Amino acid sequence: MVGAAIWRALESKGYQNLIGRKSAELDLRDQSAVEAFFREEQPEIVIDAAARVGGILANNNYPYQFLMENMQIQNNLIDASLRHEVSKFIFLGSSCIYPRKAPQPLKEDCLLTAALEPTNEWYAIAKIAGVKACEAIKKQFGRDFISLMPTNLYGPFDNFDLETSHVLPAMIRKFHDAKKQGDIPVKLWGSGSPLREFLHVDDMADGVVFAMENNLPEHLYNVGTGEDLSIRMLAEIIQQEVGHKGEISWDASKPDGTPRKLMDVSKMKSAGWKAKIDLESGIQQTYQWFLNNAHQIKEVKL
């Protein structure tokens, strides 16, 4: 999802000499394969949009893979970019790098000040390692290696698998399937009370291109909207957009995750960038993309 959005954004601005590989073409966990790629292509700028990602369920079920595979991917790319003298490296992380109970909104300088959220600490630790590696390169070698920490992303090409998806696409899928099954009730995880911020992936891609085209003096920047809402409110917006008429129930026995994750985006705003796509329009666009591609997604009984 993220890589495709960045590719679209670069093409829309006239960039032509784009080099990219899908995961089936290049296994970024394989150090020798990554080294061969860099030797052959000699990229000038590298944007690391690759990661193993998922929601609470996937993080809980596969802690080792979320830790190790993400470290393998980013370490291979960061190290190869340093050795092959890439002029600019942009590392994409996640808002989950910040402590569970950090003051809201989350500022960049609260990194490593307290304990992480247990339900996604494996992914967070990997991403923190990537942030610190880029910071170390900037400090030791003076190279333009920066990290962008987006809030929760959604949009075209999202993952709608109910076992591995994040909350927003999972809700779209659940309400859609429930509507097709006669507007049956939809059961959602948790209490619905946590507050979350959501950023359309096309806005994220625009932020990446902005960071690529401008010299940002610091090593870490939050990327988001600076606005949040409760998971319960999100469910109501998605239910209305999908047209589901049934009931919503909440399974409070399931974990809520971090109580709140609102990003302080003042640093990016001061640099000259801010998000443009409002949540309702973004959900509408994402659901339309889902409908256009629903034939590729197997319906499940709820």
- Tell me: the pLDDT tens digits for 25-59? 999 999 999 999 999 999 999 999 999 887 777 78
Select from 101, 100, 287, 269 the least CA-distant residue to 177: 287
Select from 93, 125, 89 the least CA-distant residue to 108: 93
Sign for the CA dihedral angle at 162, 164, 165, 166 comes to positive
pLDDT of 302 higher than 80: no
Residue 69 and residue 78: Cα distance in Å, rounded?
14
Three-state DSSP state, 43: coil
| Residues classed as catalytic | 123
Contact 159, 1 (CB under 8 A): yes
Confirm or deny that 94 is annotated as ligand binding: yes
pLDDT of 164 higher than 90: no
- Please tell me the predicted confidence (pLDDT) of residue 179: 96
Contact 53, 122 (CB under 8 A): no
- Please tell me the predicted confidence (pLDDT) of residue 203: 98
Pairing, β 195-196 against β 229-230: antiparallel
- Topology at the third CATH level for domain 2-159+197-227+261-277: Rossmann fold (3.40.50)
Confirm or deny that 70 is annotated as ligand binding: no
C-alpha distances out from residue 179 to 55, 238, 241, 279, Å: 23, 12, 12, 22
pLDDT above 90 coverage of the chain, percent? 84
Contact 2, 47 (CB under 8 A): no
Q: What is the mean pLDDT of residues 84-102?
A: 94
Confirm or deny that 21 is annotated as ligand binding: no
Could you write out the DSSP letters of every residue in 267-279?
A: HHHHHT------H
Q: What is the mean pLDDT of residues 223-230?
A: 97
Residue 164 and residue 162: Cα distance in Å, rounded?
6
Confirm or deny that 150 is annotated as ligand binding: yes
Q: Under 8 Å CB-to-CB from 105, ≥6 apart: which residues?
A: 226, 262, 263, 264, 265
pLDDT of 143 higher than 90: yes
- Please tell me the predicted confidence (pLDDT) of residue 43: 97
pLDDT of 298 higher than 70: no
Select from 77, 129, 88 the least CA-distant residue to 215: 88
